[in-house]
């Protein structure tokens, strides 16, 4: 695959997500969450490039949340923001101290979930302070698959990310322009443009359930590459008529011996 193919495919898929799901309108403000990893760097670069080439007049604000872990570096990120001439904010929180406090208080919570929640909370605060309603995150196709299985296995819910999700009575919207990208395309795009990748070490990384799910799914992807997209599209093609759904409106009720008999409920018991 050539550089021209990667460039054309990336812009086409990006455009599809933005337009199909109405992620951003002309002239809108958007806060972009940038961790420094390859996904968020590609997201920022694509938003910036698409904005310039298509004259969208988007008002971009790159935001990096420093979680307060030891040896956390931000200088290369700052140089990248300034090279693109993009407005940016570096906001520091103290995840380690907060995690110790809630643990001492007797609250049991996954450290990765807690860190993610604290960073997300700060992004909403910064969005509010800057009059921004849209927050762009770099979740992609594999993230959608992993989140589905994380929720299914650990929360007993069949749910995952959507390209656009409302929060706080639709006061804010999280958008995911890389929704249809797989990791392979993201890595190729980053290589073509020589994007700097900042690898800050997370002390909770080895404890991540997401990493365990990712490793498991990767085995299936390696054995049969179609599994990746089959899961992704299969989530959208759920056969609801063959699932014991919670909502009574989706259940077929028959009478048996003069009493109402719920077929789906019976099968699920």
The rounded percent of the chain whose pLDDT value lies above 90 is 70
Q: What is the pLDDT of residue 113?
A: 82
Q: Tens digits of per-residue pLDDT, 62-80?
A: 999 999 998 899 999 999 9
DSSP state of 202: P
Contact (Cβ atoms closer than 8 angstroms) between residue 115 and residue 154: no
- The phi and psi torsions of 177 (rounded to 5 degrees) equal -65, -20
Q: What is the pLDDT of residue 3?
A: 87
CA geometry: angle 106, 110, 115, nearest 5 deg: 105
Q: What is the pLDDT of residue 108?
A: 82
C-beta neighbour count of 8 within 10 angstroms: 11
d(CA 173, CA 205): 28
Contact (Cβ atoms closer than 8 angstroms) between residue 176 and residue 137: yes
Q: Is 72 exposed, middle or buried (0-12, 13-18, 19+ CB in 10 A)?
A: middle
Centroid of chain to Cα 2: 28
Q: Tens digits of per-residue pLDDT, 139-194?
A: 999 999 999 999 999 999 999 999 999 999 889 999 999 999 999 999 999 999 99
7's enclosing H/E stretch is helix 3-20
Interhelix angle for 209-223 vs 141-154, to 10°? 120
Between β-strands 59-66 and 87-92, what pairing exists: parallel, antiparallel or unpaired?
parallel
Residue 12 half-sphere exposure, CB side, CA atoms within 13 Å? 7
Question: 263 pLDDT exceeds 50?
Answer: no
């Amino acid at each position: 695959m050539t550089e021209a193919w990667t460039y054309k495919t990336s812009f086409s898929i990006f455009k599809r997500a933005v337009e199909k799901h109405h992620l951003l309108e002309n002239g809108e403000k958007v806060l972009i969450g940038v961790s420094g990893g390859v996904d968020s760097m590609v997201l920022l670069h694509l938003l910036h490039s698409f904005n310039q080439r298509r004259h969208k007049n988007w008002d971009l604000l790159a935001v990096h949340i420093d979680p307060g872990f030891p040896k956390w570096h931000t200088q290369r990120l700052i140089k990248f923001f300034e090279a693109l001439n993009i407005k940016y904010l570096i906001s520091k929180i103290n995840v380690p101290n907060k995690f110790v406090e809630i643990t001492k208080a007797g609250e049991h919570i996954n450290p990765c979930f807690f860190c993610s929640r604290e960073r997300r909370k700060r992004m909403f605060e910064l969005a509010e302070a800057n009059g921004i309603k849209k927050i762009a995150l770099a979740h992609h196709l594999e993230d959608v698959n992993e989140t589905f299985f994380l929720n299914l296995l650990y929360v007993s819910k069949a749910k995952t990310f959507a390209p656009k999700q409302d929060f706080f009575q639709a006061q804010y919207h999280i958008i995911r322009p890389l929704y249809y990208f797989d990791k392979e395309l993201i890595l190729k795009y980053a290589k073509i443009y020589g994007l700097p990748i900042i690898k800050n070490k997370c002390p909770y990384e080895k404890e991540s359930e997401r990493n365990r799910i990712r490793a498991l799914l990767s085995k299936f992807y390696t054995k049969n590459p179609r599994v990746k997209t089959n899961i992704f599209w299969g989530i959208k093609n759920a056969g609801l008529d063959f699932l014991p759904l919670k909502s009574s409106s989706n259940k077929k009720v028959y009478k048996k011996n003069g009493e109402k008999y719920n077929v789906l409920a019976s099968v699920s018991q």
